[in-house]
């Protein structure tokens, strides 16, 4: 396994991190009554086997969150870390959107420490920070909380994971002495949310960069459009789509850790194999051109010509138009309705979903692409809204 230094922490971390959001699920979990019950039905035997193998192969960075697998991810990870806490680097996240008082920060963190069976965390992050969550957190005293947990030793270092545009990303970067941040980054999302601009900006400040969704939750490796598959088939390297995608992310010298949410031992072994031989700036111009062609081919099947410019924002009723349209395009590219519904009903704040649109028309006046935004928001809501998921 290869290692890189994670920002100013000077911690040497495996370039492949184990993301504990997609642990293996019991086969009979399909009998569960809803999505959340299925997610809580972790196959502990397989999950512990995978974590054991990962540690044996040199993976030392493990990432979880309060909400993953309905809270069971941290519990299973805690069992796996028993008697070898000092061998691993543990990172987990505070569910910022669930916080209502200053005391909630401490209460939830103490619950997480108990789940994980430890009295400290190597890295503690604010989870899924966007503009609304950031301003809310500041009002509730989040910066004081971060100072406190570093001082009392519950967390060695602090950071945040991020889902919004690069402008608010830079504002957050400048607001505190962060050690790490976690962003979505892959060859399709090179300029999405924080994107390459945010990656380079944060890294230039000495912040350790952790990458999530390097393969878009596996969607860049599954149900591949014919136009894309033809490009992969024409290459001589013999790499799988997963290898192409991971190599592209690791090619960036600003990246310290790439998180992979692995659900099978086969995925784990493939990712370890790739991680053993990649180095920054090692892709040839011809190889990066292939990646550019693949990204362009994916964009050819976009439903909407939305560039994510966010000129339509802010919406006076807080509807997050760019994120909804990104999910709408994702559905038509990758045909994974369940993932889009999770993102829409679970990970988006209730005030951001399309049903809050009152059709004032302000967004359509600003849109440089002249998209029929109001009508498309209705279509997206009809497609994605799921009462059983909403509000979780």
SS (H, E, C) the chain: CCEEEEHHHCEEEECEEEECCCCCECHHHHHCCCHHHHHHCECHHHHHHHHHHHHHCCCCEEECCCCHHHHHHHHHHHHHHCCCHHHCEEEEEECHHHCCCHHHHHHHHHHHHHHHCCCCEEEEEEEEECHHHHHHHHHCCHHHHHHHHHHHCCEEEEEEEECCCHHHHHHHHHHCCCCEEEEECCCCCCCCCCHHHHHHHHHHCCCEEEEECCCCCCCCCCCCCHHHHHHHHCCCCCCCHHHHHHHHHHCCCCEEEEEECCCCHHHHHHHHHHHCCCCCCCCCHHHHHHHHHHHHHHHHCCCCCCCCCCCCCCCCCCCCHHHHHHHHHHHHHHCCHHHHHHHHHHHCCHHHCHHHCCCCCHHHHHCCCCCCHHHHHHHHHHHHCCCCCCCC
Return the pLDDT at 390.
62
Instruction: Note whether 63 and 203 are same-domain residues.
Output: yes
Tokens of 280: 């920054």
Return the pLDDT at 29.
60
Domain membership flag for residue 234: yes
- Residue range of the domain that includes 56: 3-291
Return the pLDDT at 368.
66
Return the pLDDT at 302.
74
Domain membership flag for residue 32: yes
**Residue that is last in its domain, among 291, 308, 339:** 291
Domain membership flag for residue 370: yes
Instruction: Note whether 77 and 188 are same-domain residues.
Output: yes
Which of 80, 16, 7, 9 lies closest to 42 in space, CA to CA?
80
Domain membership flag for residue 342: yes
Instruction: Note whether 64 and 163 are same-domain residues.
Output: yes
Report how many domains make up the chain: 2
Instruction: Note whether 329 and 236 are same-domain residues.
Output: no
Instruction: Note whether 286 and 330 are same-domain residues.
Output: no
Instruction: Note whether 149 and 88 are same-domain residues.
Output: yes
Return the pLDDT at 222.
81
Instruction: Note whether 199 and 241 are same-domain residues.
Output: yes
**Residue that is last in its domain, among 291, 313, 346:** 291
Q: How big is the chain by its Cα radius of gyration, in Å?
A: 20
Return the pLDDT at 39.
66
**137 vs 131: CA distance, rounded Å:** 10
Global pTM exceeds 0.85: no
Spell out, as residue ranges, where the chain has pLDDT lower than 70: 29-39, 307, 368, 388-392
Domain membership flag for residue 310: no
Return the pLDDT at 34.
55
Instruction: Note whether 44 and 192 are same-domain residues.
Output: yes
Instruction: Note whether 365 and 287 are same-domain residues.
Output: no
Instruction: Note whether 210 and 354 are same-domain residues.
Output: no
**Residue that is last in its domain, among 270, 291, 312:** 291
Instruction: Note whether 274 and 359 are same-domain residues.
Output: no
Domain membership flag for residue 300: no
Domain membership flag for residue 158: yes
């Amino acid at each position: 396994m290869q290692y890189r230094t994670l920002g100013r922490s000077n911690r040497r971390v495996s370039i492949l991190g184990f993301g504990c959001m997609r642990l293996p699920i019991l086969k009979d979990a399909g009998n569960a009554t809803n999505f959340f019950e299925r997610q809580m039905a972790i196959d502990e035997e397989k999950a512990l086997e995978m974590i054991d193998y990962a540690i044996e192969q040199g993976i030392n960075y493990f990432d979880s969150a309060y909400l993953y697998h309905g809270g069971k991810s941290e519990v299973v990870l805690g069992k796996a870390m028993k008697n070898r806490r000092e061998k691993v680097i543990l990172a987990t996240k505070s569910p910022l959107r669930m916080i209502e008082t200053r005391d909630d920060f401490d209460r939830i963190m103490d619950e997480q420490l108990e789940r994980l069976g430890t009295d400290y965390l190597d890295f503690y992050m604010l989870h899924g920070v966007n503009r609304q969550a950031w301003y809310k957190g500041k009002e509730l005293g989040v910066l004081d909380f971060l100072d406190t947990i570093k001082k009392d030793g519950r967390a060695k270092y602090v950071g945040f994971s991020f889902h919004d545009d690069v402008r608010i990303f830079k504002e957050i970067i400048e607001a505190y002495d962060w050690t790490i941040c976690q962003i979505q980054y892959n060859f399709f999302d090179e300029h999405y949310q924080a994107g390459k601009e945010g990656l380079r900006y944060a890294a230039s400040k000495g912040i350790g960069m952790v990458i999530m969704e390097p393969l878009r939750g596996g969607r860049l490796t599954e149900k591949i459009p014919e136009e894309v598959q033809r490009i992969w088939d024409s290459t001589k390297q013999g790499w799988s789509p997963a290898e192409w995608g991971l190599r592209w992310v690791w090619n960036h010298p600003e990246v310290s850790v790439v998180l992979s949410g692995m659900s099978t031992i086969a995925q784990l072994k493939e990712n370890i194999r790739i991680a053993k031989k990649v180095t920054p700036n090692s892709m040839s111009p011809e190889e990066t051109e292939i990646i550019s062609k693949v990204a362009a081919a994916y964009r050819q099947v976009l439903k909407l010509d939305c560039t994510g410019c966010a000129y339509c924002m802010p919406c006076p009723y807080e509807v997050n138009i760019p994120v909804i349209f990104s999910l709408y395009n994702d559905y038509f590219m990758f045909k994974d309705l369940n993932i889009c519904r999770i993102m829409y009903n679970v990970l988006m704040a209730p005030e951001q979903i399309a049903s809050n649109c009152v059709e004032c028309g302000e967004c359509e006046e600003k849109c440089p692409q002249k998209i029929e935004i109001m009508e498309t928001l209705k279509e997206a809501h009809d497609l994605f809204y799921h009462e059983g998921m909403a509000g979780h």
